[in-house]
Amino acid sequence: MSWVPNLQLADRDELVSTIGEIYAAVENPTLWPVVLDRIAEFVESENVLLFANYNGSVAHDIHAMARTDPNIWGAYREHYASINVWTKGCDRLFPSGSVRYSQGAISEGELQKTEFYTDFLKPNGMAYGFGVEIALPGKLPALLSALRSPRKGPFEAKEGRILEALLPHLQRALQLHFEVTLLRIANQGYELALDSFDRAVFGVSAKGKILFCNQAARQLLTEADGLRLRDNHLEAELPAQNTELKFLLRQAATSGEGFSRTGATLIERRSGKAAFRLTLMPFANNLLSHIPELTTLAFVDDPSTRPLSRAAALRKLFHLSPTEARLVDLLASGADLAEASERLKMSAQTARFHLKSVFRKTGVKRQANLVQLALGLPGNDRSCD
């Protein structure tokens, strides 16, 4: 298979090696500058940059560069990006996903009359650029761009073919970065995130099998006072309460996305201490879809401890931002979206944007289900700061 026409065999081998480095950067994003340096060598560029933004998701944005002064690109993002005359011309001339060449966007004479050229390109020894937008499903496209000095002349089709060969691999690697980030969180079983929770949290199957738990839950099982671990299953010590616990687990497992079957019960303790409050909540978040047995989150509250706010519980469990958590808290307290946006001093459009982000993070699809989820969480309705 010929990767790129006009490349010698040794060059094709180098290209294949670079593709391997692209996929290695999925697990180790610090390798992206190495990848970009290899691309710079292929296309004879003094500056190569990659920007991939993941819209505030759990995945970290990728802003990588090679052979480039980072201070230059700080100034570019703050001001010169807004007056980049290449961008509009390329958007108009080149189809999405194709390689873009700066000389097609504006003539050299017209370029030299612009502030973008006189204040940014020329002082930094740049005159020509080319690059490609990298489509990412459900997100803004990433951008790979390279720049050259005047002495090297404009980029041509032979360099463009190199980007065309690398494009599908760059696209897949950037999408994998997002997916691997989600899996990494999931593979931690939420234990690490939930260890900061001030109450015991168990992830359980319909039959009570414990699939993960946090530090508070492990401590509770060590004490074996009211609840215990038997054959890796969560049980209540008292037979009647254990029967009720099993019933609630089955009920939660069959309730689906609606969260209408959230169950709660008191668990008496042989020590005579105040009974635990146990809440069972169906769990539909797709971040843990790789654990097919998981149906329910079990929260165990000790009434002698100060409860977390509902908004704080939402933040810790579903990685909501403070604003998203306050929005959900207001909706759960009875406010409609218009009232909530007014109390949060934001536009209705901004509130809807935050609500869509909450839907994605929690795994629900309707506002009513979101309210049911929030009301099923332990904690009171004090908004967290």
Residue with tokens 């980030």: 181
Question: What does pLDDT average to over the chain?
Answer: 82
The predicted structure's pLDDT at residue 296: 83
Q: 302 in helix, strand or coil?
A: coil
DSSP state of 203: E
Mean local confidence (pLDDT), 264-274: 88
Q: What is the pLDDT of residues 85-107, one digit of tens each?
A: 999 899 999 988 899 999 999 99
Which domains, and CATH codes, for the chain?
Answer: 9-187 (3.30.450.80), 191-376 (1.10.10.10)
Give the β-pairing of 233-236 and 263-267.
Answer: unpaired
Q: 185 in helix, strand or coil?
A: helix
Assigned token pair, 363: 């795994």
Nearest Cα residue to 379 out of 324, 338, 328? 328
Q: Rounded CA gap, 340 and 338, in Å?
A: 5
Q: What is the pLDDT of residues 308-336, one digit of tens each?
A: 677 777 787 788 888 898 999 899 888 88
Helical (H) or strand (E) element with 200: strand 200-204
Q: What is the pLDDT of residues 358-380, one digit of tens each?
A: 888 887 888 888 887 787 665 55
Q: Rounded CA gap, 282 and 277, in Å?
A: 17
| Maximum Cα interatomic distance, the chain, rounded to a whole number of Å | 87
Q: What Cα–Cα distance (Å) separates residue 353 from each residue in 76, 246, 323? A: 28, 39, 11
With 0.95 as the threshold, say if the pTM is over it.
Answer: no
Residue with more model confidence, 267 or 378:
267
Q: Rounded CA gap, 195 and 166, in Å?
A: 42
Residue with tokens 């009875």: 334
Residue type, 313: A
Mean local confidence (pLDDT), 157-175: 93
Assigned token pair, 148: 């050259």
Cβ atoms of 294 and 281 within 8 Å: the answer is: no
Residue 247 in this model has a pLDDT that exceeds 60: yes
The predicted structure's pLDDT at residue 219: 87
Q: Rounded CA gap, 286 and 267, in Å?
A: 30
Assigned token pair, 219: 């401590």
